[in-house]
Amino acid sequence: MVPCCPPITAGELSQADAERMAAMFKALSDPVRLRLFSRVASHPGGEACVCDISDVGVSQPTVSHHLKKLREAGLLTSERRGTWVYYQVAPSVLAAMSAMLDLRT
Amino acid sequence: MVPCCPPITAGELSQADAERMAAMFKALSDPVRLRLFSRVASHPGGEACVCDISDVGVSQPTVSHHLKKLREAGLLTSERRGTWVYYQVAPSVLAAMSAMLDLRT
């Protein structure tokens, strides 16, 4: 996924850019999903085994659903190694979201 | 509204912080709402009259609904002056969201 967009102060977002960015913000719009995401992001190297992050007080299928949404939005990537799936933060996508909201730029 | 939180790489978000931040991300999770927000943010001084930003291809009640959601989430403030309502970006809330997603911090 190619990150977008110019800072939000630079001008009105196009419809296409608005749809792409809204989908990313939507991925972080659920508290459980945001906590799961923060668990991956705060692991050393921005990577975590699903076995290390799943005890957030919801069922395993719910955890899987949230991780899938984060992956589909491009905020996480994943890789299976042996028994476990590992999740990695996608730094370029996060940088795009952060830069878009940074009024200093 | 007091902005929160530490960078997402700093550790797991508390439930309370996750709920607050998820509500802010939710406010930007709709393409029309995000475009309206970008219209205010890109106006000189980060302020715009509702009369200048409403032609985004949806009805006036829908525009009002979206602006209310942005206000409730703390991303916009508003002020009536004479006939019109003016909307202002809340810089501290945007800065909190941006900083949270900034992996360099």
Q: What is the pLDDT of residues A45-100, one digit of tens each?
A: 889 999 988 888 889 899 999 999 999 999 999 999 999 999 999 988 888 888 88
Q: What is the pLDDT of residue A56?
A: 82
Residue A28's pLDDT band (cuts 50, 70, 90): very high
Residue pointed to by tokens 């296409």: A16
- Give yes or no for B45 touching A (CB within 8 A): no
Contact A37 B8 (CB under 8 A): yes
What residues of chain B lie within 8 A of the CB of A13, using their CB? 34-35, 38
- Whether the CB of A55 is below 8 Å from some CB of chain B: the reply is no
Is the CB of A29 inside 8 Å of chain B's CB atoms?
Answer: yes
Q: Indicate the residue of A10, A22, A95 with minimum beta-carbon distance to B103.
A: A95
- Is B18–A11 a contact, with Cβ atoms under 8 angstroms apart? no
The whole-number pLDDT of residue A46 equals 85
Query: Does the beta-carbon distance from B103 to A89 stay under 8 Å?
Result: yes
Would you say residue A1 has pLDDT above 70?
A: no
The shortest CB-CB distance from A39 to any of B12, B32, B91 is to B12
**Which residue intervals of B43-83 are DSSP H helices?**
50-53, 60-72
Q: Is the pLDDT of residue A5 over 80?
A: no
Q: Specify the pLDDT at position B3.
A: 58
The answer to whether the CB atoms of B25 and A21 lie below 8 A apart is no
Closest CA to B36 of B24, B25, B49, B45: B49
What value does the mean pLDDT of chain B take? Answer: 90
User: Of B16 and A1, which is predicted with more confidence?
Assistant: B16
Taking the C-alpha atoms of residue B53 and residue B48, their distance in angstroms, rounded to an integer, is: 7
Beta carbons of A21 and B34 less than 8 Å apart: yes
Domains (range + CATH), chain A: 47-105 (1.10.10.10)
Confidence of residue A38 (pLDDT cuts 50, 70, 90): very high
Give the Cβ contact number of residue A93 at 10 Å. 21
User: Is residue B97 pLDDT above 70, yes or no?
Assistant: yes
Q: For B23-51, how does the pLDDT look when each residue is reduced to its tens digit (9 = 90+)?
A: 999 999 999 999 999 999 999 888 999 99
The whole-angstrom separation of Cα A19 and Cα B18 is 24
